[in-house]
């Protein structure tokens, strides 16, 4: 393949891999395949609304597909939705998404591109903020764009139809979101747009809006959705995420807690392990020749290495083995001091080890707090502090010293 030239020479095998791994649907497949094999240098659009300050592994899936396009010499156009984040994407949401302020978005954007740069080559990426053009749209033009869609089309969307049936409020601004995302495709002259399967309606809206402006319609690539730590779609709003900025040991531990049946999917969507090898891992898990723990350790090592390096992955794995396989306590465990008359709950909440008294009661009720030296669970919510190492949940430890 040739890089940095107007022509991008791509072998059919590379095209097939690009259009298959982690891909749910290509619309229109024949069109995109023809463009990729023609040698045309394409503009690949990806938009992300900074609704939270961290990029997680689920959002990394389309970023990894962007990297694949970059590796074939195409131009990635990364759109930061500083305007659309204020409107709120209703895709796959059963409840109305709250509107964000410009200040919220500004805070969320700190370090955002640095995180994306862990996956894509920012030096070869166009970065745009869609407020630059969406702020300028007048009511006349918005009205003309709205004519491209019917109320029936909007209300037929799965999440909207479910909300109609449940009597959950749907605001008119939510109907406007696909128009805004579609206009982004016009503004940056997109040839291809990438997104999750939950984004398909919005991605196809880009084709409709481009047609309105008599432009060539973009092709659409949707990638598979990644389940989070609780089995639901990984989402910042649900808190079930593994973030790219998680500390290596924390990232490793979260990956070890992934459901056994999701391990092959995590390999496919989140790692660079060849698909032929993933098939062997899948077969081993199925016939029992490969233990899920061993597969997860390989998975955790692969992903931590991607985002933190091999040395950090070694340290994270050693810490996990020592802590959870050998029953040892991490050497960097936080130490706090307390008086013998202090309640354990107050000590842990004040030190921000536990977020609140209600969180403390929940952990006690679940038997999730253990005094390691005695191998005893804390069962009394009014227990006094005592010297020792307390294990809180699966991965948190704290040492208490009594003055």
CB contact at 8 A, 21 and 223: no
Helices (H), 258-335: 263-270, 275-287, 292-308, 310-320
Q: Please tell me the CATH superfamily of domain 12-225, with its number.
A: HUPs (3.40.50.620)
Pairing of strands 369-371, 75-80: unpaired
The answer to whether 248-325 and 334-402 have equal CATH topology is no
Residue from 229, 223, 135 nearest 184 by CA: 135
Residue 93 has pLDDT above 80, yes or no: no
Q: What is the pLDDT of residue 402?
A: 81
Q: Is the pLDDT assigned to residue 4 strictly greater than 50?
A: no
**Per-residue pLDDT tens digits for 128-146:** 999 999 999 999 999 999 9
User: Taking residues 295-323, what's their average pLDDT?
Assistant: 94
Phi then psi for residue 338, to 5 deg, are -150, 160
19 neighbors 33 (Cβ within 8 angstroms): yes
**What was the pLDDT predicted at 9?**
56
| Percent above pLDDT 70 for the chain | 93
Q: Report the pLDDT value the prediction gives residue 169, as an integer from 0 to 100.
A: 82
The three-point CA angle 297-298-304 to 5° equals 85
Q: Which residue did the predictor score with more confidence, 10 or 252?
A: 252
**What is the value of pTM for the model shown?**
0.78
Q: How far is the C-alpha of 368 from the C-alpha of 365, rounded, in Å? A: 8
| Domain edges within the chain | 12-225, 248-325, 334-402
% of the chain surpassing 90 pLDDT: 57
Pairing of strands 23-27, 376-377: unpaired
Closest CA to 24 of 272, 222, 237: 222
Which of 397 and 305 is assigned the larger pLDDT?
305
DSSP state letter for 321: I
pLDDT at 328: 72
CATH architecture of the domain with range 248-325: Orthogonal Bundle (1.10)
Please answer whether residues 228 and 119 qualify as being in contact, where contact means their C-beta atoms are separated by less than 8 angstroms. no
Q: Which residue has the higher pLDDT, 44 or 331?
A: 44
What is the CATH class of 334-402?
A: alpha beta
**pLDDT mean across residues, the chain:** 88
Where is pLDDT greater, at 44 or 336? 44
Say whether pLDDT at 97 is over 60.
Answer: no
Question: Is the pLDDT score of 2 beyond 50?
Answer: no
pLDDT tens sequence across 161-187 = 788 788 888 788 888 889 999 999 999
pLDDT tier at 5, thresholds 50, 70, 90 = very low
Q: What is the mean pLDDT of residues 387-395?
A: 84
Segment 363-373 mean pLDDT = 86
Per residue in 249-306, pLDDT (tens digit) is 889 988 988 889 999 999 999 999 999 999 999 999 999 999 999 999 999 999 999 9
């Amino acid at each position: 393949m040739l890089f940095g030239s107007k022509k991008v020479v791509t072998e059919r095998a590379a095209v097939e891999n690009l259009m298959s791994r982690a891909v749910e649907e290509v619309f229109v497949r024949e069109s995109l395949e023809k463009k990729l094999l023609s040698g045309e240098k394409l503009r690949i659009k990806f938009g992300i609304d900074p609704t939270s300050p961290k990029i997680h592994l689920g959002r990394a899936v389309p970023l990894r597909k962007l990297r694949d396009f970059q590796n074939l010499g195409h131009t990635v156009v990364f759109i930061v939705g500083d305007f659309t984040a204020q409107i709120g994407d209703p895709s796959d949401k059963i409840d109305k998404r709250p509107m964000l302020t410009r200040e919220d978005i500004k805070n969320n954007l700190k370090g955002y591109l640095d995180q994306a740069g862990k996956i894509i080559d920012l030096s070869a990426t166009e970065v745009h903020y869609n407020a630059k053009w969406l702020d300028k749209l007048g009511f006349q033009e918005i009205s003309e764009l709205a004519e491209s869609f019917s109320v029936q089309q909007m209300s037929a969307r799965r999440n909207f139809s479910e909300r109609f049936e449940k009597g959950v409020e749907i605001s008119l601004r939510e109907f406007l979101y696909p128009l805004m995302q579609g206009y982004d495709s016009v503004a940056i002259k997109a040839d291809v747009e990438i997104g999750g399967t939950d984004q398909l309606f919005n991605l196809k809206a880009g084709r409709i809006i481009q047609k309105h402006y008599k432009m060539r319609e973009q092709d659409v690539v949707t990638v598979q959705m990644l389940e989070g730590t609780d089995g639901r779609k990984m989402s910042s709003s649900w808190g079930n995420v593994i973030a790219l900025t998680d500390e290596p040991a924390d990232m490793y531990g979260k990956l070890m807690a992934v459901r056994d049946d999701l391990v092959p999917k995590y390999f496919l969507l989140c790692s660079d392990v060849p698909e032929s090898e993933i098939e062997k891992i899948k077969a081993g898990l199925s016939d029992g020749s490969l233990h899920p723990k061993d597969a997860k350790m390989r998975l955790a090592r692969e992903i931590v290495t991607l985002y933190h390096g091999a040395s950090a992955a070694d340290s994270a794995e050693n810490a996990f083995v020592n802590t959870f396989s050998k029953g040892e306590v991490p050497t960097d465990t936080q130490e706090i001091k307390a008086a013998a008359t202090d309640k354990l709950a107050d000590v842990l909440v004040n030190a921000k080890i536990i977020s609140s008294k209600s969180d403390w009661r929940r952990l006690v009720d679940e038997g999730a707090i253990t005094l390691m030296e005695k191998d005893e669970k804390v069962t009394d919510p009014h227990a006094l502090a005592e010297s020792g190492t307390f294990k809180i949940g699966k991965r948190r430890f704290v040492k208490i010293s009594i003055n």
